[in-house]
Structure 1
Amino acid sequence: MAEALSTPGRPAGWIEEATGFWRAMPDKPLFFSLFIVWVIFFHFLGNSTFGYVDTPSLFGWWLWVNTRGLDDAGAWEAFKRILSADEAYAWFVPFVVMGLLWWNRRALMDLPKQTWWPASVLLVFALLVHILGYIVQQTRVSIVAFFAGLYGLTGLVWGARWLKATFFPHFLFLFCVPMATLSEKIGSQWVWRKQSWVSTLLKMEPASGSPRAGINMKWRQPAADSEV
């Protein structure tokens, strides 16, 4: 294995190292088959909220939330929308994850790898989380479920030690969950509730004859009711 990575006087190029890393990963057809099935599932049954964008795809929803859609945009306009988004860093998270895995490639290559069926529990858990998010129409929950399931797939194919060694890189995928729009929604709801409470308070007047008018309040009755 060391010969594939370096030679006594000359370090191996990154192509040779990438080839050695690729060869050190067993059961690649199994992993990519499961990965494709997982992606297809979330593409067709990933989103249940059609108020923002009319698509069942989790990835289509994520793209719209981060760019407000690219259907009517040219190449340059699409590029500007991607980089001007509040959470444009999410586009770079997969590259950061792959960079960390590449940085730790020698340790990952030396890990004993084998099919580990207990990881299917994590996969089932991710599926249940997605079903919950699908029912309550919270696509962000489904995004978390997608990455949790992807993490479980790697453990299913390559074992528990792989899960332990790659936990932190996979954890960074949480930064792909769009939270800016959620905070805006929560903030707007809070402001609306506060304005509603203030407007309700301003429509109240002191109860007649009350010595503590600032405490005892009653609803102002409409003029028609006062004449009855």
Structure 2
Amino acid sequence: MECFKGVFGDVSNGHTLSTGLPGGAAPGIWSERWRLAAIPREEMLRLLFVSVMVGLLYVMFHFLGNTVENVQSRSAFQWMFARWRDKISFGADYSHGYLIPFVSLGVLWYKRRELFAATRRINYLGLGVVVMALAMHWLGAKMQQTRISLMSLILLLWGIPFYLLGWQTAKLLIFPCAYLIFCIPLNFLDTLAFPLRMFASTTSAQFLNSIGIAAVQRGSAIFSGASGFEFDVADPCSGLRSLLAMTALTAVYAYFTQKTLLKKWLLFLCSIPLAVFGNVARITTIAMMAEAFGQQVALGIYHDYSGYILFAAAIALMVALGSLFNMNYREQFEKWKSSLFART
């Protein structure tokens, strides 16, 4: 046992084992029975406590998360998964929900060094957040509003580390926890489908007339007597799906690329007009294709694949806007001015 003293410390009497690892790795405890380094008792208790907390959260929201009457499951998770898969009532508008937790986990992994380096201390404001989240869950259960219960789960996922680890850790967890809101099917957003349909059809008809294609709008339908095309902007073509997907994508892009909180929010808000006008461009180009090649071509292969093309264009515009927001205009102006005077 003497040979281990130099690197591992005195382990002959079950004393603390110094790992000798770079970066100040946490010490272990030497197990005389197994002749191996074991997890320290403090760390084991912490892992046990975290496991119990996770288990309690799962039990609470799996068995007591959905109180809507005449349902097959009481699980808030199964309620949410069913709406992600629902292509009839929701038109697959929330099918991107499967990806959202993985994005949040990716952000946590990216921030792992900052999370481990953060100062840890009990913060009783976090306890207030936990109490408020539990009250939200009780309120959601009483109102039979599973969405409120899922919101409370997100608040608990943020409030518990806030209470146990302090504000520095909670500050780093704000975005990955808040991003989980994109998982929740928010039914009030469905009411936007009709206004989006009307805006898209009105704007598209006006643009078509401005470029010389005679188009008449009646409700959400657009038709032309000259070329004979006629189509209706239905609910799946309202642009709500692309709006939800675009805002979710822009949120994480702005978080990683923008330098200030104001720029992050500004780029995120720009995703809304980008998605809306991207849908208008899709409807307009469908009408243009119908004018040039006939309605069958326009409502066939072009209708099926144009959404991907214009969504890619919206992403390119998002990246361009992000670059413009990060540009140092004073520095660019000085470079332009110096190059201009150098030529003269």
How much does 1:114 deviate?
3.5
2:74 is matched with which residue? Answer: 56
How much does 1:40 deviate?
0.5
- In the alignment, is the contact (CA less than 8 A) between 1:46 and 1:139 conserved in 2? yes
Match of 1:36 among 24, 35, 55: 55
How much does 1:100 deviate?
0.9
Match of 2:112 among 95, 105, 112: 105
How much does 1:187 deviate?
6.7
1:47 is matched with which residue? Answer: 66
Query: 1:62-73 to 2 correspondence within 5 Å?
Result: 62-68=80-86
Alignment of 1:131 onto 2:138: yes
How much does 1:185 deviate?
6.6
- TM-score scaled to structure 1, two decimals? 0.59
**In 1, distance between residues paired with 2:111 and 2:189?**
35
Which has the bigger relative contact order, CA under 8 A and spacing at least 6?
1
RMSD: 3.1
**In 1, distance between residues paired with 2:97 and 2:124?**
31
**In 1, distance between residues paired with 2:21 and 2:185?**
42
Alignment of 1:162 onto 2:169: yes
Structure 2: where are the runs of 5+ without partners?
A: 1-19, 25-42, 195-344
- In the alignment, is the contact (CA less than 8 A) between 1:147 and 1:173 conserved in 2? yes
Query: 1:134-145 to 2 correspondence within 5 Å?
Result: 134-145=141-152
Letter in 1 for 2:65: G
Structure 1: where are the runs of 5+ without partners?
A: 6-23, 70-80, 189-228
- In the alignment, is the contact (CA less than 8 A) between 1:31 and 1:157 conserved in 2? no
Q: Could you give the per-residue CA deviations for residues 28-65 of structure 1, whole angstroms, max 9, x where no partner exists? A: 332221121011011111111135x4211111111112
Paired positions, count: 155
Runs of 4+ in 1 over 4 A off after TM superposition: 185-188
- In the alignment, is the contact (CA less than 8 A) between 1:35 and 1:150 conserved in 2? no
3-state SS of the aligned residue for 2:22?
Answer: helix
- In the alignment, is the contact (CA less than 8 A) between 2:100 and 2:182 conserved in 1? yes
2:95 is matched with which residue? Answer: 88
- In the alignment, is the contact (CA less than 8 A) between 2:85 and 2:95 conserved in 1? no
- In the alignment, is the contact (CA less than 8 A) between 2:66 and 2:141 conserved in 1? yes
- TM-score scaled to structure 2, two decimals? 0.40
3-state SS of the aligned residue for 2:120?
Answer: coil
Name the CA shift for 1:96/1:187 in 2 (closer, same or farther; >3 Å): closer
Letter in 2 for 1:34: M
How much does 1:3 deviate?
2.9
**In 2, distance between residues paired with 1:158 and 1:27?**
12
3-state SS of the aligned residue for 2:99?
Answer: helix
